[in-house]
Structure 1
Amino acid sequence: MESLRLQTSSIVWWLCIASIVVVLVIYGNSDAPIGPSDSESDSPVSFLIPIIQLRSKVITTSATPSVSDDHKIVISSSNHPTPRLLPNQTPPSEVPKPKRKWRRDQSELEEGLARARSSIRRAAAAAASGDPNRSSAPTGHDVVPHGAVYRNPRAFHQSYLEMERKFKVYVYSEGDLPITHDGPCKDIYSIEGRFIHEMETGAEAGRFRTKNPKEAHVYFMPFSVTWMVKYLYKPLSYNLTPLREYVSDYVRLVSEKYPFWNRTSGADHFMLACHDWAPNASAGNPFLYNTSIRVLCNANTSEGFRPQKDVSLPEIYLYGGNVSSKLISPPPPNSPRPYLAFFAGGLHGPIRPILLDHWKGRDKSLRVFEYLPKTLDYDSMMLESKFCLCPSGHEVASPRIVEAIYSECVPVIISEHYALPFSDVLRWEAFSINVEVSKIERLKEILEAVPEEKYRWLKENLKVVRKHFELNHPAKRFDVFHMIMHSVWLRRINLRVA
């Protein structure tokens, strides 16, 4: 009898072990990162977000995060240095251990994201085995993305649907007007204020925003760097310390009042700003700079912007708060465009002086101006040109890119170290031309060498991609607000909080 009991116990023991192994295999497969494995090449692949992967777990310990040379987000229990600190800064205090209830809630959130990753990966695999432009089944009013402008339309569509079903954002209520909960809604930095207002009061944003921070996937800090510059910066002082101090104080406020920042050192938090000085302002907290998701127009990879965790924000210039009436409905495709290329703008930054030195007033078909003559209209010139030159100014981003898309004038991007917006899902080579700074003197030769068939293809693709760069009020599916949200969603879905 004793022998029988021992045999029974042994069998039960081995069955338990086998069950655990099976569960681990299944969960491990569903929780795998979207994108190539670490053993594969780092070169981009053709589906979803090739540059961001679930490379490591973010765990709640008293350790401080570090960002390695290849920009992986790492938080571990020991043997990792603190992140880069600015002068007079100290690391935050130890992170308290999470309560059991929070761990259970967090586990449910992560399991939901694991299922989303799995469904997106299946959609990508299905596209790879068949027609890459075939997408998931539409859901009534659904508009299924298709065409050459997408890296993988099917994977993007599935990811977008998963975002609509699951993604929850908590917006911090802390902070006073005008620097928080407000921002510019017209002029060059308009997208900053438009996003904040849409996130806080927009009807469409209601599907994403949650009043319960415990069910949120990410946390939004609604401060405006543009308004910081307006209200805190002393003109001509070039002293950005007040901006950094404000950001530092804001992070300290929410981290002391809530447990959410401390449990991941800000890895599931995001800020959004379009002002050129936004990266500098974000340096007010080293974890915000190194670990959090920064949604920035100034997406310069040589100045700390990391596409693996940060989001490139398109710069949209709204004169008087609206898109020019001439750009709302571009002329028919067969309308003449007599000029090869067009640019008008000041001598800002290192690239534009080179462009104007070679081409200003030198060619009747390649129209380059520093100041546009009063007899010419800027919008009309774009509508009459085949290509619109978009050189960087003081910073890498340029509102001319979006203006060119609106006018169906093929953007010619002349920049260095610029991470283009929505590159996770969009193939910029399908609707724009890239010209290296070193080849500016050959600009006319390069543009004239573009075959007519390719030019028409690029121009046709601008019509497809336009909706992703439109600012609507209220927001509409697949517009720029939703594309920004999708970019944040991708970075969160590939970050596992354990």
Structure 2
Amino acid sequence: MDKHGSSEPHSEELEILGRQLLHEVDVYMKTHKTRTDGELIERVFSFLKVGSTLGGEVHVTHRVGDPYNTWDVEKLACNVGLHLKEKVEFRQSEDSGYHNKRGSGINAFVAAITYSSKGSSLFSLPSSSWAWTTSIGTSSSSFSISSFGINTSSPWRNPRTALYPTFASEKMNRAVSNLVKDLNTESVLRRGKERDEKLERTEAGLARARALIRDATIDQSSSSSRQDPDYIPRGDIYRNAFVFHRSYVLMEHLFKIFVYEEGDLPLFHNGPCKDIYSTEGIFLSLMETATHFRTRDPEEAHVYFLPFSVVMILEHLFDPIIRDKAVLGRVIGDYVHTISTKYPYWNRSLGADHFMLSCHDWGPRATWYVHELYFTSIRALCNANISEFFNPRKDASIPDINLRTGDTTGLIGGMPLSNRTVLAFFAGQLHGRIRPALFQHWKDKDEDIRVYEKVPEGVSYEEMMKKSKYCICPSGYEVATPRIVEAIYAECVPVLISQHYVIPFSDVLNWDAFSIQVSLSEIPNLKEILMGTPEDKYVRMHEGVKQVQRHFLVNDPPKRYDVFHMILHSIWLRRLNLQIYG
């Protein structure tokens, strides 16, 4: 920089530090005609971008006072092909690496901002996860949600990209490799083409939402954001109640979903609203009438819903004798081909801003036949099994709900604590990996731990849950089980026994506050674990179950914070965790 006002040359110092000076920008801030509207900083970004490599970084510092605090610097950087990677606030005296001598003195605050070029990908997920905790470091590289209770840095992680794992199966690895090639090819084809301004406006709106949610993790004193005529999330059942409320309200104000109208009944726009796959049918049904979130204009949508029902495809087209599961691939593959040919939105992101939902055990398998859907799209699944490559950084775990009559009549509520005379209860079939161990140690062996394959004659399953302190919820054929929601409805503290299961809404809910999680190896000690829980802790967990119940209730029409809205919020978080480049 040439010396003007407070700027001084530091070329030699930069060389000593191993930096390379790419450009010199001659500016005089006090008199520059564009300093008040931020145009100058955009021009600086434009200079800096020239000659930088893909994945390279641009470091900019500026004071936080007027007029700099009025500039939307993140958006200005985005306009010239850079995205915000890091933003920190510090004093010059506290950072020996800061070398710009400013006339305003060594104690002035500055914002140090790191921008990076977009690289060759059409979209990105952050390389690191950001948990919703009360205190968060300001040096987090980007906004990111993570599923809690699981290790998102799993051994399947592929270092080449944040999206895809590395598989033991060579077939799976070839699929990943081909998809990465498709991404790179599509990115190369788009270079030099006119930017998608509508998409960039959508991304700018999401960037503002991310910033507001980030602010909520740091400043929880704003009373305006806590004013709500209906419900204010509070208490230990949330990982961060304040941040969840901020995110939820933003979703209500901003989130728009385009539902593709292609596809005929009964395979599309329709699903079972009774029995074990109720979640799938209820969501499909409510999305058809969700006027608040649904948009008829695909240009203003944040996500695009593929309204097929895995349950209905299998019910109507699957031959139980031939057992050809590829029927799923034919129906879903044809559907994706139809919408990707008719509309530009799937190809624009290779499906990254599209989502599907399924509660069938074969829901994950159904997406495999279209590799972009499997690896790239948002999958809302009951069968959220990370050992089967459920990816919590882009996929959402949703609750398995079994409504035998199609509604919750008679299911909600239970006995007061003083009348809960059974320590723990389970009744269900013997299948899967977990239940054999449970039956071996506890079936018909203890008066306090009641484990049955079928409840005794004259005994009601629902009444047993309502008078038990704990309800045992072991996985069955797959990791998900409707008994978790049944327990919450009956105000019975769930005892979760599973492997590799991402619990529903666990990026928002603190399951440790209202449930007990037991590993397979701890099943022999189940009674000791439950009896050893202090009474005051149990009372708190029971109150937590009653409080969290609203998030699992099915309502028609939907009510705020119910299960329909919680599923939408999970999709909203995954979309916030994604940036698509126009």
TM-score, normalised via structure 2 length:
0.73
2:196 counterpart residue number:
103
- The 3 A distance-change label for structure 1 pair 167 and 90 is closer
Cα distance in 2 for partners of 1:49, 1:321 equals 43
Structure-2 residue corresponding to 1:296: 381
Structure 1 residues 360 and 398, CA gap change in structure 2 (3 angstroms) = same
Cα distance change of structure 1 residues 312 and 136 upon mapping to structure 2, 3 Å threshold? farther
Question: Secondary structure at 2:270's aligned position in 1?
Answer: coil
Aligned to 2:479: 396
Contact 2:413 2:466 survives alignment (8 Å): no
Matches within 5 A, 1:37-436: 44-46=131-133, 54=143, 68=158, 72-73=162-163, 84-85=174-175, 95=186, 97=190, 103-127=196-220, 137-139=225-227, 141-201=229-289, 205-325=290-410, 327-331=411-415, 333-436=416-519
Report the Cα offset of residue 126 of structure 1: 1.2
- Cα deviation 1:453-490 (Å, max 9, x = unaligned): 10000000011100000010000000000000000001
Asked if the contact 2:414–2:467 (Cα under 8 Å) also holds between the matched residues in 1, the reply is no
Read off the aligned partner of 2:74 and give its amino acid letter: Y
Measure the CA separation in 2 of the matches of 1:354 and 1:221: 39
Counterpart mapping for 1:459-470 below 5 A: 459-470=542-553
SS at match of 2:504: coil
What is the CA distance between 1:366 and its match in structure 2?
Answer: 0.6
Secondary structure, counterpart of 1:425 in structure 2: coil
**Which residue does 1:6 correspond to in 2?**
none
User: Would you say the 8 A contact 1:414–1:436 is kept in 2?
Assistant: yes
| Structure 2 CA distance for partners of 1:451 and 1:287, relative to 1, 3 Å | same
d(CA) in 1 for partners of 2:87, 2:174: 28
Provide the secondary structure at the position in 1 that maps to 2:214. helix
What are the superposed Cα offsets for residues 304-358 of structure 1, whole Å, 9 maximum, x if unpaired?
1010000001001001202241x32333x34411111000000121110110011
Alpha-carbon distance between aligned partners in 1 of 2:181 and 2:329, rounded to the nearest angstrom: 15
Q: Which amino acid aligns with 1:394?
A: Y
Q: State the Cα distance separating 1:69 from its structure 2 match.
A: 5.1
1:372 CA displacement? 1.2
The letter for the 1-side match of 2:269 is H
| Alpha carbons 1:52, 1:494 under 8 Å: kept | no
CA distance in 2, matches of 1:72, 1:485: 23
Cα distance in 2 for residues equivalent to 1:12 and 1:106? 33
Structure 1 pair 21–374 and aligned structure 2 pair: CA distance change class (3 A)? farther
Residues 19, 282 of structure 1: CA spacing in aligned structure 2 closer, same or farther, 3 A cutoff?
Answer: closer
Identity of aligned residues (%): 48
- CA shift, 1:491, in A, is 0.7
Distance 1:390 1:445 in 2: 17
Q: Using the alignment, how far apart are the partners of 2:142 and 2:353 within structure 1?
A: 15
TM-score, normalising length from structure 1?
A: 0.84
Equivalenced residue count is 463
Q: CA deviation at 1:19?
A: 5.2
Q: Return the letter of the residue paired with 2:535.
A: E
Residue type at the aligned position of 2:273 = C
User: Cα distance, 1:194 vs. partner?
Assistant: 0.6
Query: Match for 1:275: what amino acid?
Result: H
SS in structure 2 opposite 1:73? coil
Q: How does 1:20-31 map to 2 (within 5 A)?
A: 20-21=43-44, 26-27=73-74
**Cα offset for 1:155?**
0.6
> Which residue does 1:479 correspond to in 2?
562
SS in structure 1 at match of 2:450: strand
Output the amino acid matched with 2:414: P
Q: Hey, what's the Cα distance between the residues in 1 that align with 2:441 and 2:141? A: 39
Q: Confirm or deny: 8 A CA contact 1:412 1:432 kept in the other structure.
A: yes
Within 1, Cα distance between the matches of 2:250 and 2:324? 44
Q: 421-430 vs 227-236, which deviates more?
A: 227-236
Change (3 A) 1:457 1:21: farther
SS at match of 1:461: helix
Change (3 A) 1:161 1:239: same
Moved over 4 A (4+): 10-19, 21-25, 28-45, 47-55, 88-102
Per the alignment, residue 78 of structure 1 pairs with none
- Name the amino acid aligned to 1:467: R
- CA distance 1:323–1:103, shift in 2 (3 Å): same
C-alpha spacing 1:404/1:52, structure 2 compared with 1 (3 Å): farther
Deviation for aligned residue 1:435: 0.3
**Cα distance per residue 1:281-315 (max 9 Å; x no partner):** 11110010001000000000000101000000100
1:58-95: CA deviations, max 9, x gaps?
A: xxxxxxxx983597138xxxxxxx97439x99987965
CA RMSD of aligned residues (A): 3.6
The structure having more radius of gyration, on CA atoms, is 2
Give the distance between the partners of 1:435 and 1:199, measured in 2 at CA.
36
Q: Is the 8 A contact 1:35 1:45 kept in 2?
A: no
* 2:16 counterpart residue number: none
Cα 1:40/1:255, change in 2 over 3 Å: closer
Amino acid corresponding to residue 133 of structure 2 in structure 1: S
Cα gap change, 1:386/1:143 in structure 2, threshold over 3 Å: closer, same or farther?
A: same
Letter in 2 for 1:295: A
Q: List runs of 5+ in structure 2 lacking aligned partners.
A: 1-24, 33-38, 47-57, 61-72, 89-113, 115-124, 145-155, 165-171
Q: Shift of residue 142 of structure 1?
A: 3.5
Cα deviation for residue 441 of structure 1 reads 0.8
The one of the two structures with greater contact order (alpha-carbon pairs below 8 A, sep at least 6) is 1
